[in-house]
Structure 1
Amino acid sequence: MTFVRDCSCISHTSVENISVEDHYDTVSHHYLTNEPAACSLSETPPNDDMTVYSTDISHYQLLSELGKGFHDLSVVCLARHRPTGNLVAVKRTNLDNCTEEQLGVLQNEVLQTQLFHHPNILTSQIVFTSSSKLWVISPLMAYGSAECLVKTYFSDGMSESLIAFILYGVLKGLDYLHRMGYIHRSVKASHILLSGDGRVYLSGLHSLYSMVRDGKRSKVVYDVPEQSSTVLPWLSPELLRQDLHGYDVKSDIYSLGITACELASGRVPFQDMHPTLMLLQKLKGSHCCLLDIHPFPLEGLGLKVSRSGVDSGIGESVATSSIMRTMTGERPQSPAPKNFSVLFHNFVELCLQHDPEKRPSARSLLTHAFLKQYNLLLGLQVKRHTKESFLNLLHPAVPLNNPRVLAKAAQTAAGQDSTTSPDGTAGAWEF
């Protein structure tokens, strides 16, 4: 537990970015431009919280449990900082229950977060230990995770405008990490958090892997993420293949494509498959796409048309039954099929290219027409009505700092309800 002695206070140190060659000749060229995307909320410099948080646990009133993380070893709580009245998120991890390997992962996460200072990367205010528990104090993400929003308010998927808004912020964070030589390796909806003022944050930094060793940047890596079984649906084929070709930052782009499908339909591709079948489907190049009435012929993309709306290749019966079981059994079907735009389909298709060399970089995707069209629509509103525009996209979601939600949280703190989050849903935050 001595590893936290040198990182009691998290300081945000500016780090010079490592230059990376991000120019690839890919199939995305038709919808990618060299012009930067229109300004959005996610590009606005953050308002740094100058509050000095202490290591005295009595200064934090735990109101309710928001969820769990780090393989259920950590508990995330909504808390109030008593001296200032600020609402914060408190993640507590019992170090006595962690293995030596898990302690090493925690140490790596705590130390690495000191390197990052970016408006779309979630970092901590302070880290300390008390009675063998590691306390991590972070800013409160009032709208929780994107996964929680989908489960609670958008069970049939989010609107394209909201998805574009979220993905733009995630790509800004990924571009920053990739230029610094890091692979995230755990991009998914539960690791995308939204603040009350409309900022998109990328969390889940415990799976980060640095491509820089001994001052040199490797072209590929071969390391397998810890507990990779929990993120199998999001992992890229090349990461799962574990051959001599290895994988690089383009693996995160594949995960982003799966996340886009997750936000669009409320369902995670491949999730209902047996892990072995999922692995076979990915390694053999089975194509995953948005489930809707396709606005252009799938034959034009070299894909096979099936009644399920996916190109499931040799495992069509498995994939179809899996998807249909999810659509008809575990969740209610949408009242009508969605019609996603051609641009959104192209964006997802590029992210999910089986060959990583054909996937655009995070920086290139920031110029994709799908993101630009919605940023242009929101751009004029954002400059004048930042919060209002954001709230319109999220309607009918209710933030955790809403007075009604806080009142319920106070009841939770009094011991009347200790198993659910203050909005009445099971905790779905994951850090």
Structure 2
Amino acid sequence: DCFCTSRTQVESLRPEKQSETSTHQNLVDEPTLSLLPPSTRASEVICSTNVSHYELQVEIGRGFDNLTSVHLARHTPTGTLVTVKITNLENCTEERLKALQKAVILSHFFRHPNITTYWTVFTVGSWLWVISPFMAYGSASQLLRTYFPEGMSETLIRNILFGAVRGLNYLHQNGCIHRSIKASHILISGDGLVTLSGLSHLHSLVKHGQKHRAVYDFPQFSTSVQPWLSPELLRQDLHGYNVKSDIYSVGITACELASGQVPFQDMHRTQMLLQKLKGPPYSPLDISIFPQSESRMKNSRSGVDSGIGESVHVSSGTRTVNSDRLQTPPSKTFSPAFLSLVQLCLQQDPEKSKQFIIPCFLQTDEGRKPEFNTFTVASCLSQAINSTTSSVTLD
């Protein structure tokens, strides 16, 4: 028994095809949620629910607490490469089933170039198949493991976060909290388009037609996602939390991209919470919040992402970074503006961070064309990857 959530085509929005004026308007005034059917003027979208039309090539990752396998596949009728996520529903708890259902429904309604699109969703027996566009560069966490074990350059980080924050701002404008911002949920296409995934943890502030200022929903988050969560979400007190908690996660993700490591990954939950609540704002250069080098090498070699979502294994045929580079990371510097931006995301007053961080990423100077675009991301990645091949060995 198969079913498809949508057979309509969605037009792909490309910033390079817009005028300077329309691009500026797009960045400042993000589109709001619309429940109308997507445009049908788009290019090819794969909507086949025939399982025989998909030729699985290789498993490229695991997600959803290891319940979902992620595959690179080919749609045989068209030859199009796609990503296929397969989940055995019989192994999912009721809470997990609700999370999957929510992600599928919301992905159908959200239409934004920086939000991951589900082309087709259907079941084959007890197996859920989700078909989505193939993101050639994979996730940002995969890039860290494979090419940037000591972290990315500031230019590349800012461009990647720009796309992720655009998608996040769209969710916030529609009253939704993502609750799982992390490098493994930031996907990058071959042409440099950055999209935000991991919608299974998303929660809406709108209930019974009214938008609430705070929510008190505290699901049983996996311990692997806790390093990215904000103090107000981890506290689980009567104050609740809102969309501003995502801004804290953006700051942690910036540290992750800058250092190649996940902050607080080896800390006990209580110690982590105390450090987040009482500790001073930290930066990507603070070594006290990162795992020790031995743990770091283990994580980098394994190719297994620590979080939930579109994490990707590094298969035996891909390039891996020489372990000597992991033991002796070079000194790294970041601009004062970037460090201040990260610290602002991580400060205790979420009001200030929310008021500053979104405009900082999304607004432009007076009439100036935004410097961030998909070409810049692809160009930065291509140059960075090419520059690292001299110090990379093949398995």
Verify same fold: TM over 0.5: yes
Distance 2:259 2:166 in 1: 23
Matching residue of 2:95: 101
Residue in structure 2 matching 1:132, options 115, 126, 134: 126
**Larger CA deviation: 239-248 vs 100-109:** 100-109
Matching residue of 1:416: none
Residue in structure 2 matching 1:390, options 363, 378, 395: 378
Q: What's the offset of the Cα at 1:322?
A: 4.9
Question: TM-score w.r.t. structure 2 length?
Answer: 0.77
Matching residue of 1:315: none
Matching residue of 1:187: 181
Distance 1:424 1:91 in 2: 28
**Larger CA deviation: 352-361 vs 197-206:** 352-361
Distance 2:121 2:132 in 1: 9
Matching residue of 1:8: 5
Q: What's the offset of the Cα at 1:275?
A: 2.0
Distance 1:191 1:320 in 2: 21
For the Cα contact (< 8 Å) 1:171–1:363, is it kept in 2?
yes
Secondary structure of the corresponding residue to residue 116 of structure 2:
coil
Distance 1:140 1:394 in 2: 18
Distance 1:9 1:354 in 2: 42
Matching residue of 2:275: 281
Q: What's the offset of the Cα at 1:48?
A: 4.0
The alpha-carbon distance between structure 1 residues 390 and 52, as it changes in their structure 2 partners (threshold 3 A), is: closer
Secondary structure of the corresponding residue to residue 91 of structure 1:
strand
Distance 1:51 1:393 in 2: 26
- Check if 1:359 corresponds to 2:347: no
Distance 1:249 1:216 in 2: 16
Q: What's the offset of the Cα at 1:424?
A: 8.2
- Check if 1:332 corresponds to 2:320: no
- Check if 1:258 corresponds to 2:252: yes
Distance 1:116 1:328 in 2: 38
Bigger RCO of structures 1 and 2 (CA < 8 A, at least 6 apart)? 1
Distance 1:366 1:340 in 2: 17
Once the two structures are superposed, the pairs formed by residues 210-229 of structure 1 within 5 Å of their partners are 210-229=204-223
Which ranges of structure 2 fall in alignment gaps of 5 or more residues?
A: 12-22, 31-38, 300-325, 387-392
Once the two structures are superposed, the pairs formed by residues 233-252 of structure 1 within 5 Å of their partners are 233-252=227-246
Secondary structure of the corresponding residue to residue 124 of structure 1:
coil
Matching residue of 2:15: none
- Check if 1:75 corresponds to 2:69: yes
- Check if 1:62 corresponds to 2:56: yes
For the Cα contact (< 8 Å) 1:10–1:114, is it kept in 2?
no
Matching residue of 2:264: 270
For the Cα contact (< 8 Å) 1:141–1:196, is it kept in 2?
yes
Distance 1:377 1:13 in 2: 25
Q: What's the offset of the Cα at 1:204?
A: 0.2
The alpha-carbon distance between structure 1 residues 338 and 89, as it changes in their structure 2 partners (threshold 3 A), is: same
Q: What's the offset of the Cα at 1:219?
A: 0.2
* One-letter amino acid of the structure 1 residue matched with residue 102 of structure 2: N
* One-letter amino acid of the structure 1 residue matched with residue 76 of structure 2: R
For the Cα contact (< 8 Å) 1:12–1:117, is it kept in 2?
no
For the Cα contact (< 8 Å) 2:7–2:47, is it kept in 1?
no
Which protein has the larger Cα radius of gyration, Structure 1 or Structure 2? 1
Q: What's the offset of the Cα at 1:271?
A: 1.1
Matching residue of 1:171: 165
Q: What's the offset of the Cα at 1:82?
A: 0.2
Q: CA RMSD in A?
A: 3.2
Distance 1:143 1:244 in 2: 41
Secondary structure of the corresponding residue to residue 360 of structure 1:
helix
Distance 1:192 1:255 in 2: 12
- Check if 1:203 corresponds to 2:200: no
- Check if 1:345 corresponds to 2:339: yes
Matching residue of 2:86: 92
Secondary structure of the corresponding residue to residue 104 of structure 1:
helix
Secondary structure of the corresponding residue to residue 90 of structure 2:
helix
The alpha-carbon distance between structure 1 residues 163 and 131, as it changes in their structure 2 partners (threshold 3 A), is: same
* One-letter amino acid of the structure 2 residue matched with residue 97 of structure 1: N
Q: What's the offset of the Cα at 1:104?
A: 1.5
The alpha-carbon distance between structure 1 residues 328 and 65, as it changes in their structure 2 partners (threshold 3 A), is: closer
Matching residue of 2:226: 232
Matching residue of 1:113: 107
Distance 1:146 1:206 in 2: 19
Distance 2:121 2:370 in 1: 40
For the Cα contact (< 8 Å) 1:12–1:115, is it kept in 2?
no
The alpha-carbon distance between structure 1 residues 329 and 320, as it changes in their structure 2 partners (threshold 3 A), is: farther
Matching residue of 2:284: 290
Matched residues, number: 338
